[in-house]
Amino acid sequence: MRFSIPDSLAVEWQTAALVLTSILIVTSVAQSFLSYRRLRDFDGPRWAKLSQTWLFHKTLSGGLYLTLADVSRKYGELCLKR
């Protein structure tokens, strides 16, 4: 026995899936924007704004712990990730 879905019902499911996906994308972008917007007043390495190359460099050079200690002294508890 074969079941067939009426065309109108298939269109409704596609529309619902499109709306749900759109809502999830907009919500995700809005959350990211609001999170980073709060941090815009804090200076950081220029290269860090573009990529994580500076983090890779600091890690390889062995100076990451010193950089993180400086940031911790400068901004206090705010910079600690929990």
Indicate the pTM of the whole model: 0.46
Q: Tokens 């929990």 belong to which residue?
A: 82
Do 33 and 16 lie in one domain? The reply is: yes
Do 35 and 50 lie in one domain? The reply is: no
Spatial CB neighbours of 53, under 8 Å, sequence gap ≥ 6: 47
Q: What is the pLDDT of residues 3-28, one digit of tens each?
A: 666 666 667 888 888 999 999 999 99
Do 72 and 52 lie in one domain? The reply is: yes
Do 66 and 32 lie in one domain? The reply is: no
Do 22 and 10 lie in one domain? The reply is: yes
Burial of 51: CB neighbours in 10 Å, binned 0-12, 13-18, 19+: exposed
Do 36 and 48 lie in one domain? The reply is: no
Residue ranges making up the domain that contains 57 = 43-82
Higher pLDDT, 19 or 44: 19
**Residue 43 pLDDT more than 90?**
no
**Residue 48 pLDDT more than 60?**
yes
C-alpha 23/C-alpha 2 separation (Å) is 34
Q: How far is CA 65 from CA 23, 45, 73, in A?
A: 40, 15, 12
